[in-house]
Structure 1
């Protein structure tokens, strides 16, 4: 991947118990005993220990038998504890003006479907108006929160993220903060490898970790990966030119720094907006490398009726790549209408060419329809080129047949079990995708 012009250099033990002779007068303990039992009999012949009849030999035999049974019981207990302890952290990240309670249904359903190997944690560091402080600020808080969870939990080996709406951008920033290409050298202070004992983890592929753990899934639901600038990217504006013209300069007054970042007008005119920087590796962080470290990246996108996030931005597609969505749901997953795997597309990555700087300045100073459209088209293409260098699974969701289709943005993650239950099929699909990838990861680790 070519470097963008603004980018600088980096940055049971279960022993078998000896059998008795049928007449009960003799018993043989061979090599099937545990190593500790074998050590206690190291002075005997290699053929094993033979006990003649009598009270002393019987007591000795019973003692060894009890020792073996005790070791077996302890081994089974240890194995049972290890089996029940979670080793896969799944972080749930809510969207704008939201809280962990938005995940009440999804969290319970994921726990039921995924079992005890997953530790499901709903983030609480960016509740309500904290989501207005900027994607970068919220992302750093999320990274700190995840590290605290990892430090307090023994035995974690893998990590995944499931994020809704703006939370997907928070998560993309956070994983860049948590990204570490050399986790196991233990030489750097604060290195995530010090969080968990190395003996309790399996080394991830390529030695890359997120919060010291092996990155598995990165999943977003209706996330504006390309921002909300451009025609119908913020659907509640109804595509009305005057409203779309007024929205960028007004947004910061309502949603703070986050608003200017979503409309790609943040920073000086000669500096690329944050979302463009997040489509590559740059001085701000290894955003591209962090995303690429995950074994599976999935974007769920509402094809219609989402009043907050358009289909194009949530599915990381160009306008020309949007076809007519199927109307029929996939078997077992109501309202999930299509799944497409998009392999990596080679390119020279995201850039901020001189014409983009001029377009940004014009969009900031004189935000007329012509200037904003030109700037958006340049930025969208650059972000797509950057992000499509990675493979993505794209899942299209359509609530056209739901009783309340205009609740699509909250239906997709079942914000309220009673009001937004049209999305239960989406959560079921997410759970099965997580299970499938988990099984694949475990199988790969055992080979």
Structure 2
């Protein structure tokens, strides 16, 4: 018996329309109704009225039930295929699925900058990360607002992030990508936005040390930032240890006289931010802000907030950065600076080394009496000797505080770039035409974020029946 499909395939629409029509029997005179008059009906030519009725009934039944069923079968099949293709191709057709971003990535610029500094990075990240990320370039601390202090700028950034979170109900996770001074703004802001998670008491990061006499600290992890799950905290050429000391501000060329006079002159040019970067802010007996930001104190849970992030990455220029030195941007001591490889990592031009530094046991930073005396001397009568003494004490204490957390440290070298002296702006491609040497760094950042996202959300597969 032939399948009904060829019947539909070969017959014309006109024939189907006529065949599916009833050939009504006129009960009065046993003749066909006018609906059959345009096309001869074989059942009408029967010699016997009874035979005609039987044939007409069979023809009508086959025409009506068979053709209708074939059409219905084909229509349902087409509908099922369309629905299945829609499920595979368009997530919007899946019941309960919302094509809205759930991960907020905040971009924070540096000193005397603006959101436009992120134009290239934003376009690249959108292309590489996809629609699940909401990219937001902060605008609350543009240009001279960066002079009002790290704490002031950090509070404004925190308020700005809260506004974005309240406007976007689909958000579940949050990350930060910062450049230069913006990294310090973000560190202050996340402490303001931090809420501990009391339900997670057993999640800890263990600090280990080869020194058996030192106290091992179990640093509590967990908590939220602005009510969201913290994922990545990434800084690019950020002066985590300030800019005081030997070649921490490279354009001073390490000249002792210039470094001595830079501290008292900084507040004149860059306001309160300058004194905080040179660690001379506040009264002599009070620890400088950057030292307090390396601990949990009455000003904020700075280390707890950073510890809540699943991943912390710091990118540092090993040379040719005229604004931020290698030590301060990579949170390393002078003795820990080892000459990096000259060859770039595969696929990431100018990214020369990646190292994970696990947390180190520590009792946290301190501000001993000798540090207070050195700070007073550096404020009132700066000279080469007390400047170096104060710097050495503060640097060691800040490193001790920040090393309570694990960091992934990425070294960047633009020694082979056409304009290597633009390293500070190259590292985040401030301008696509002049600073495009940093494209490999941006690619490395994007892939690092994607890798972390895959670890948090394993891929899900949608099954559709055809």
Q: Deviations over 1:284-305 (max 9, x none)?
A: 0000000000000000000000
Unaligned runs of 5+ in 2: 5-63, 200-219, 462-466
Q: Which residue of 2 aligns with 1:211?
A: 226
RMSD between aligned alpha carbons?
A: 2.8
> Which one of the candidate residues 381, 390, 393 is aligned to 2:408?
393
Which residue in the other structure is 2:245 paired with? 230
The aligned counterpart of 1:146 is 161
- Kindly report which structure 2 residues correspond to 1:146-225, keeping only aligned pairs within 5 A, or say none: 146-182=161-197, 208-225=223-240
Deviations 1:300-342 (A, max 9, x none): 0000000000000000000000001111000000000000000
- Residue 297 (structure 1) aligns with: 312
Distance in 2 between residues matched to 1:417 and 1:393, nearest whole Å: 27
Take 2:431 and 2:98, find their aligned partners in 1: how far apart are those partners? 33
Of the three residues 264, 268, 274, the one matched with 1:253 is 268
Task: Find the partner of 2:426 among 398, 407, 411.
Answer: 411
The corresponding residue for 2:217 is: none
Match of 1:275 in 2: 290
In the alignment, the residues of structure 2 paired with residue 214 and residue 90 of structure 1 have an alpha-carbon distance, to the nearest angstrom, of 12
* Pair 143,402 (structure 1): closer, same or farther in 2 beyond 3 Å: same
| 1:421 and 2:402 matched | no
1:362 correspondence with 2:377 = yes
Q: Find 1:317's aligned residue among 328, 332, 335.
A: 332
Give the superposition deviation at 1:150. 0.5
Q: Tell me what 1:240 maps to.
A: 255
Partner of 1:16: none
Q: CA deviation at 1:183?
A: 8.8
The 8 Å contact of residues 276 and 289 in structure 2, kept in 1 or not, is answered as yes
Task: Work out which of the two has the higher radius of gyration on C-alpha atoms and give 1 or 2.
Answer: 2
C-alpha displacement at 1:154, in angstroms?
A: 1.8
The aligned residue for residue 129 of structure 1 is 144
Structure 1 runs not aligned, ≥5 long: 1-21, 24-53, 185-204
Q: Does 1:439 align with 2:461?
A: no
SS class of match (1:443): coil
CA shift, 1:442, in A, is 1.1
- Determine the structure 2 residue equivalent to 1:92: 107
- 1:212-240 per-residue CA deviation (whole Å, 9 max, x = no partner) reads 10000000000000000001000000011
Contact in 1 for aligned 2:91/2:97 (Cα 8 Å): no
Q: Alpha-carbon deviation of 1:206?
A: 6.2
Equivalent residues of 2:222, 2:308 under 8 A apart: no
For the structure 1 residues 293 and 399, does the alpha-carbon distance in structure 2 shift closer, same or farther, using more than 3 Å as the test? same
Q: TM-score, normalised by structure 2?
A: 0.75
Query: For structure 1, which segment, 175-184 or 394-403, has the greater mean C-alpha deviation from structure 2 after superposition?
Result: 175-184
1:347 aligned partner = 362
Would the aligned equivalents of 2:92 and 2:98 in 1 still touch at CA under 8 Å? Answer: no
Residue 102, structure 1, aligned to residue 117, structure 2: yes
C-alpha separation in 1, matches of 2:257 and 2:279: 18
Structure 1 contact 183–212 (Cα < 8 Å) conserved: no
Q: How far 1:366 sits from its partner (Å)?
A: 1.0
CA–CA distance in structure 1, aligned partners of residues 176 and 232 of structure 2: 6
Aligned residue pair count: 373
1:335 aligns with 2:311: no
Q: 1:372 aligns with which of 387, 394, 397?
A: 387
Q: Deviations over 1:75-97 (max 9, x none)?
A: 96353883531100000000000
Provide, for residues 125-158 of structure 1, a one-character-per-residue CA deviation record: whole Å limited to 9, x for no partner. Answer: 0000000000000000000000000011121110
TM-score, normalised on structure 1?
0.78
1:339, 1:80 → 2: CA distance?
Answer: 43
Matched residue SS, 1:333 = coil
Give the Cα separation in 2 of the matches to 1:217 and 1:76: 27
Change (3 A) 1:141 1:445: farther
CA contact (8 A) 2:221 2:307 kept: no
1:84 partner SS = coil
CA distance in 2, matches of 1:230, 1:444: 48
> Does the residue aligned with 1:107 lie in a helix, a strand or coil?
helix
Asked whether the equivalents of residues 183 and 209 of structure 1 are also in contact (C-alpha less than 8 Å), the reply is no
Q: Does 1:77 align with 2:92?
A: yes
Alpha-carbon deviation of 1:207?
5.5
Q: Cα 1:206–1:253, aligned 2, differ >3 Å: closer, same or farther? A: closer
